Amino acid sequence: MSLEELLAFASRNLLLSIALAGLTAAIVWVEVSRLFRGYKGLRPGELSALVNREDALVVDLSPINDYQAGHIAGSKSVQPSQFDPESKLLAKAKALPVVVVCRTGMSANSAARRLVKAGFERVYVLEGGIQAWRQADLPLVKGRG
């Protein structure tokens, strides 16, 4: 397809062309913002390796009932309303990798930004949250932890 044919198609299908340009811009924006957010996303297998290799602290922001129904072994339950980067639990882990986990991976991003702002250098988020952990057939522990 030549450039002339592409331009002719775009002029005949203006709404489609605008939608394509908008989607492309949104994808580029998301990917660029990921580069500068200050923390990294981990897949479930990468989280397992990080915990085993470097004794990472896993902070679970799930509601307490969800946490007790199933959480990653060794994770610490912290309610989002009580999440504080300066708390005793987190302050003593500033030198360690800290991984923030929630049910779907959405709430963890906000907490990770707070950790980065508080000076934590090795901050991670479990992409997809506990749902992704389950889908990877990795074990969960029940109870208080």
Looking up residue 106, the CATH number of its domain turns out to be 3.40.250.10
Indicate whether 56 and 115 sit together in one domain. yes
Residue 48 is part of which domain span? 40-135
In a domain, 121, yes or no: yes
Question: Which pLDDT score is estimated for 29?
Answer: 82
Q: What is the mean pLDDT of each run of 10 residues along the chain (145 residues)?
A: 87 90 86 75 94 93 94 93 87 89 88 92 94 94 81
Question: Which pLDDT score is estimated for 104?
Answer: 85
68 and 142 Cβ atoms separated by less than 8 Å: yes
What is the number of alpha carbons within 13 Å of residue 33 lying toward its C-beta?
8
**Structural domains in the chain (count):** 2
In a domain, 118, yes or no: yes
Indicate whether 100 and 75 sit together in one domain. yes
Indicate whether 31 and 46 sit together in one domain. no
Catalytic residue set: 102
Question: Which pLDDT score is estimated for 122?
Answer: 94
Question: Which pLDDT score is estimated for 145?
Answer: 60
pTM over 0.85: no
Question: Which pLDDT score is estimated for 34?
Answer: 63
